[in-house]
Amino acid sequence: MEGEPRAYPALPAIIQGGMGVGVSNWTLARAVASLGQLGVVSCTVVDTVFVRRLQDGDPGGHMRRAMAAFPIPGVAERVMQQFFRPEGRPPGTPYKQLPMYQHIVDKGREQLAILAAFVEVHLAKEGHDGPVGVNLLTKVQLPNLALLYGAMLAGVDFVLMGAGIPREIPKVLDAFAEQRMVAVRLEVEDRQADTPEMFSLDPRVHWEGTPPPLKRPKFLPIISSHSLATMLVRKADGRVDGFVVEGPTAGGHNAPPRGELKLNERGEPVYGERDEADFSKIAELGLPFWIAGGTGTPEGLAQARALGAQGIQVGTLFAYCDESGITSELKRSVLAAVVEGKADVKTDALASPTGFPFKVVQWADDPATKVNRKRVCDLGYLRVAYAMPNGRVGYRCPSEPEAEFVAKGGAIEETVGRKCLCNALLSTIGQPQERKDGPSEPPLVTSGDELVRLGRFLEGRSSYTAADALAWLLSPVATTPAS
């Protein structure tokens, strides 16, 4: 039946995509969810975003309001003492950093990550009963258990994870719903031995008595191929509830092309027919799915439904609305360039330390073009674990200074063109680290290829709300799309 969800009427037609770092924050997700569509908070790096908000004085008191609802005793008070600055930071003062997450983590650091995810989801759910989801990158392995647990403590309805194969996540959600300990495999590079390294989270160590069971959220892996969808249905450790099928035009990280990597004259990965997901095969799996990547238009929604999808996941259109975390200056500057036809989106094969292609917006007024970006790894979310010669686990990131990366056994080729996305993306949401030896960290803006066509929706406006975006996406389509 065209124009209507086929078999899952209770599910939303539109997912506002998770956008890290802090772009899809609680304000955006709440705006979307309160209108009945799926609002998704990004919890990638959310623990650092959270302690930086506290250090900036927590304008509006939202962090403190949500912290007061956190159910594990004593944690919020300790975090307030460590990070809250009622007057904010004096100009030029660097943010106090969190210790980098490790696979063996102390209780306090784990609790801080649980609290940060709780706060973000709690606020996104405040004042309405629409659905709220959480987005995490599978590759950022270490804090994910704590973040999932915190999101579940706040009653999150959906978990969406891409950038890797989230095969073990269903069992994590099942375990946390019963307040059970869960252990997952840690990917360790250069490891010779067969025994896998594991890391774990045990909810019971954080409570005195027996904590009450939690709701098990629906799990939607973000995938780019039907073969991965089939594999996850058959081989994931537990139940998968549907899929987001994301193509290579989407904002943020993209799945690399299949086969040998070929670059075009702009240095972008070349995608071909083999990279196109077969939606009929995905529909045959009998689970709801949403199509992402260039689908954020009324026609995109109609076409997705004609292909058997429940709806669409949209990023770029929401990234520039008033509620998103990108600073107003950057939003204004990029949208002005879009209207003038002077914004460009490049699929950068090198920028991300993950090695996945990453979309980068290029425009004349990009403040980052005026500053030299330094090689650094002081936040550590994109580090990978590797086996040190003594057999212990160490961590390295291809965006750290070359000599340090190579001293840890990393290959020099891997460092070429890499940027510290952790720091750059925090700057994009107005939380740049101050550097004693130079200017503060420059921003980096990511968007999907559709950005350059946003003028059609803007119709002369220089700003808009999430509600404007939703009303447009749900508006009638003039002609019936071909299926």
Ligand X SMILES: Cc1cc2nc3c(=O)[nH]c(=O)nc-3n(C[C@H](O)[C@H](O)[C@H](O)COP(=O)(O)O)c2cc1C
Query: Where on the chain is the footprint of ligand X (CB under 6 A)?
Result: 17-20, 23, 42, 44, 135, 137, 162, 222, 246, 249-252, 292-294, 296, 313-316, 319, 446-448, 450
Q: How far is the CB of 288 from ligand X (least distance, A)?
A: 16
The residue at minimum Cβ distance from ligand X is 315
* Element of type H or E holding 135: strand 132-137
Position of tokens 């600055």? Answer: 85
Q: Are 97 and 378 in contact (CB under 8 A)?
A: yes
Cβ nearer to ligand X, comparing 51 with 321: 321
Cβ nearer to ligand X, comparing 19 with 385: 19
Q: How far is the CB of 29 from ligand X (least distance, A)?
A: 12
Q: Judging by beta carbons within 10 Å of its beta carbon (0-12, 13-18, 19+), is residue 274 exposed, middle or buried? A: exposed
Q: How far is the CB of 94 from ligand X (least distance, A)?
A: 25
Q: How far is the CB of 245 from ligand X (least distance, A)?
A: 10
Q: What are phi and psi of 192, to 5 degrees?
A: -85, -40
Cβ nearer to ligand X, comparing 134 with 153: 134
Written as six digits, the tokens of 253 are 């990280």
Cβ nearer to ligand X, comparing 55 with 135: 135
Cβ nearer to ligand X, comparing 130 with 448: 448
CA distance 291 to 29: 19
List CB contacts of 95: < 8 A, sequence separation 6 or more.
51, 52, 55, 89, 431, 433, 434
Q: How far is the CB of 437 from ligand X (least distance, A)?
A: 29
Q: How far is the CB of 250 from ligand X (least distance, A)?
A: 3
Give the residue among 121, 132, 127 at the shortest CA–CA distance from 33.
132
Q: How far is the CB of 142 from ligand X (least distance, A)?
A: 16
What DSSP line would sit under 233-267, residue for residue? HHHSSS----EEEE-TTSSSB-PPPSSS--B-TTS
Written as six digits, the tokens of 132 are 């709220």
Cβ nearer to ligand X, comparing 70 with 219: 219
Cβ nearer to ligand X, comparing 17 with 410: 17
